[in-house]
């Protein structure tokens, strides 16, 4: 595996020595480490051979985010596999936590990413992953149909298969579709899984995104996640609003968008708090319908 990595890195940096292998913590799915290749520090994700298609998808999403030229993402140095393992080679960043000042700057960069227009429809060229859950991304012209069916409907179906019944799935999908019927936002390129483990600041005070779950959708989906995590300062939203204010009705739609992530956490991790939060949102939707 190391020989294959060196071969790919030599295409970027020329021949150099590989040194200082350090295993990193925090990877929920993949093994993560960093190495020095000559004067360059490289971040490595490694897993079993069958994960190679997921690494390829991640590389393509990072390259799409980079294409926007609005916010920093790790450069992709290559990906490959041997008989037993696959790996993804990325640019390594020393990262800083958010504070009130740099959070404002990150929010501005996120708004500029969302302003980037390239698609008239909602979806993506391939299905992506929200953690370990597939996100179906077949292109759709109507936002309410895309979100209700491909996001909420799917998560409710998964929950049902795990014994978590929130109600009649088709009825709930129809309610969500109805709630979003008058909302047809510009499709924005979303990070798709914007929580504290997937965004930070570099030492140069640039916002950086990684571990994406991209698709073209309503920008409010990225923003709606932020209040779920106390580790992300509210100044991100203030900075965002200074560049591209959120439209009227965002606070009414926010619980719908949070429901998607809460259901996913309950489905993957059996998280009781996420389940109870999701249940509260569903009960409110049923009461108001």
- Cβ proximity of 282 and 155 under 8 Å: no
Alpha-carbon distance of 211 to 59, in angstroms, equals 10
Whether 193 is catalytic: yes
Which two structure tokens, joined as six digits, stand for 149?
């069916």
What DSSP assignment string belongs to 111-166? HHHHH----SSBB-SS-EEETTEEE----BS-HHHHHIIIIIIHHHHHHHHTT---
Alpha-carbon distance of 50 to 83, in angstroms, equals 10
Alpha-carbon distance of 220 to 69, in angstroms, equals 20
Catalytic residue among 36, 193, 222, 252: 193
User: Cα-flanking dihedrals φ and ψ of residue 231, to 5°?
Assistant: -75, -10
CA angle 110, 223, 137 (to 5 degrees): 90
Q: What is the dihedral of CA 44, 50, 55, 56, to 10 degrees?
A: 140
Which two structure tokens, joined as six digits, stand for 279?
């249940």
In sequence order, which residues have a C-beta less than 8 Å from that of residue 275 and are 6 or more positions away?
164, 262, 266
Residues labelled catalytic: 193
């Amino acid at each position: 595996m190391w020989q294959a990595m060196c071969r790919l890195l030599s295409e970027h940096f020329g021949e150099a020595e590989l040194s200082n292998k350090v295993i990193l913590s925090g990877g929920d799915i993949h093994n993560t480490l960093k190495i020095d290749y000559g004067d360059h520090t490289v971040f490595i994700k490694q897993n079993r051979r069958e994960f190679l298609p997921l690494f390829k998808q991640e590389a393509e999403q990072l390259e799409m985010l980079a294409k926007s030229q609005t916010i920093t993402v790790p450069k992709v140095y290559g990906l490959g596999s041997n008989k037993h393992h696959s790996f993804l080679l990325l640019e390594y960043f020393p990262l800083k936590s958010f504070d009130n000042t740099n959070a404002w700057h990150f929010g501005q960069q996120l708004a500029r990413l969302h302003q980037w227009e390239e698609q008239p429809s909602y979806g993506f060229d391939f299905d992506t992953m929200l953690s370990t859950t597939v996100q179906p991304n077949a292109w759709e012209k109507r936002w309410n149909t895309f979100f209700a069916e491909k996001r909420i409907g799917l998560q409710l179906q998964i929950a049902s298969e795990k014994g978590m019944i929130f109600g009649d799935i088709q009825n709930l999908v129809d309610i969500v579709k109805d709630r979003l019927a008058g909302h047809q936002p510009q499709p924005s390129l979303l990070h798709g899984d914007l929580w504290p483990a997937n965004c930070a600041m570099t030492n140069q005070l640039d916002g950086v995104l990684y571990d994406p779950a991209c698709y073209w959708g309503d920008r409010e989906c990225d923003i709606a996640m932020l209040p779920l995590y106390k580790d992300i300062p509210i100044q991100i939203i203030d900075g965002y609003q200074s560049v591209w204010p959120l439209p009227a009705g965002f606070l009414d739609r926010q619980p719908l968008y949070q429901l998607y992530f809460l259901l996913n956490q309950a489905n993957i991790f059996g998280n009781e708090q996420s389940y109870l939060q999701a249940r509260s949102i569903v009960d409110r939707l049923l009461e108001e319908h």
